[in-house]
Structure 1
C-alpha cells in the first residue's frame, strides 16, 4: 500500500487486515506495516477489529494469525475490541476481550494515537515517557506501574521487566515495593515498616518464593501505636527506651547502648545541668563492669564482667517529635 498520510487504514485486498502508515524517523517518508484482525474484520470508521457482520460484504482471507495471550486479557477489560498498550514495548489487539499481543519492533514504542489510529500503535520514538533519555537508567513503565524498564544507553530500546505479584515499581528507590509500601522480604520473621511503623509485616519463605503478609497496629480503641520488633507487640512508642543517657549525679555509669563504653559525670557550674557529661570507651578486649572496684565501675577483661549487660537496640522507627511531646514523654 502506498501511504499518503499517517494513520490506520483498511487493507486494500483483505478486510480482515489493516495497514498502519508510519513516519520513518531517518527519511521522513511514510512506510506501511500490515496487521491482522485474527479472523475478525477491520472497521475503517472506528479503526478497530470487530465482528465480521459489522462490516458489510467482508470475507477475510485466511492467513497467519497472531497468538492470544490470556495473561494479558486484563488490559482488554473495558476495551473488548480496541488497540491498547500493555507496556512501552507491547501493543495488544483486543478482540472480543481476548488479548493478541504484538511486540513493537526495535526503535518503535507503544503510543496511543486516537485521532489517526483509533488507539494504540507501535510508533517510532513516541511517547517520550517510554524513551531512554539517559544511560543506565531505571524508569517505571508509562502504562503499567507494576513494570519498569532499563535503559542501557541514551536512545536505546527500553528493556521491560515485571515486578513480582502485588508489587509496583518505585522510581525514587529504583526497586519494586509492595502495594502497601513494605520493604522486600530477605529473612523469615515479623518486621516493622520503618517508613511507617504503625504497619508491620510477616515474611514467610515457600517453594514459590517469599510470601509477605501486611498487618497494622491501628484499631478502634488505640491510635498512635507502633510495632516494636524487640517485644513483638504494638506499643506506645513514647514509652520505648531509646538508650539516651543524661547525667543526674556525679559518678561513672554504663552506656545503655554499648557494653564497652561508659559515661563520666562531674559537677561543673559552667553547664546548664550543673554536670559535665563525658563519654569514654574501654580499650579493645575490655568491657565496662559497673560492679567493679566496689561498684564505682571499671573496664575489665572481656567475658569477666559480673553485671549482665543488655544494650538497648536502636529502634529503626521514625517517631514524630510532637507525638511524644504531647504526652510529656521523651
Structure 2
C-alpha cells in the first residue's frame, strides 16, 4: 500500500509541474538503463533543472543535479539549455567530470612529499582530496614530517625520510652537511641501504664514538667543505677516516678509508703515525713488512712514517714488534661482497 501511495504522489507531482526542480532522491539509479550525458527530469516540457549522467573511470554512472543559467530552460528534446521564450540560443551544458583524488594528498588535509621537503595543503572538494597549494620547508624547520599530527615542517630529519644520501661504504657515516645527522649503511643483497639517524638537540655525531656526544663548542660540529667551484676528492675536516667527493664546490658523497687508515694530504688512505714504534703494514701481504714511526725533528707532523720489509722469509709479529722466523701470519680476511650504490 505504501509503494502505491508513493507512486501516486510522484505521478501527481509530475503532472502538477512541481517535479521541475532539484530532488535529492534522484540517485545513481536515475542514470541506469544506459542513460549518459544531460537528461531531463521532466520529459513532457522544458525545465530549468536537469541531471547530468557522467561516466566514471570504473564504468559506473554518477548523477549530478544541474541547473540552467537564468533565462534558459533545459529542452528534453535537444537536451540543451535553450532560451525559454523563442526556443533558440542553445548553449552547451556544463559537465561536471569527477576527478580522481590527488595521490600527493594521500587522503589528508596536510601531507609531506616523499623527499620530506614540501608540505601539501589539500581540501576535500567533493571528489577526494585535491592539492590547493604546497609549501617548501626551510629556515629552522627544513624538513617535512608525517610522523607528527598534523603533518608539518620540523627541524629534525624524519627517520622515514628519503634523504637522498648514497651509501658507498658499510658502517656509520657522518652526514656531509649536518653534524647532528648520521647514516648507518648496511647491505641488502648487493645493495647498500641507508638507515638515517639524528642526534638530540645539543648533541652532535662523533665518528670516534660512532654515536652522539654533547656539543661543548663549535669545534665539535664537523661538516664537509669543498673549495669554491672545485670537483674532486677532499679530506673531511676533523674526520680523518673519511673523505668526500666534491662536485662544483658541493660535497655529494662521503667515502670511508679501510680500518686502521686515514685520508692524507697525498690524496690516499694510509696508516698514519700517531706514536713512535713499529706497526703492521696492511698493504704488504703475508706480514712480510711493517711501518716504523719515528719522532720528527723538523717542522711538520710529530712522527715520520717509514715502510720497512722483513729480511728473507721472516714475518712481522705485532706482539713483539719484530720480524721473526717462526711467526705464522694470520690468514687475510675474505674481501666483502661486491655492492652497488642504492639509486
Q: What is the TM-score with the length of structure 2 in the denominator? A: 0.28
Between structure 1 and structure 2, the one with the greater Rg is 2
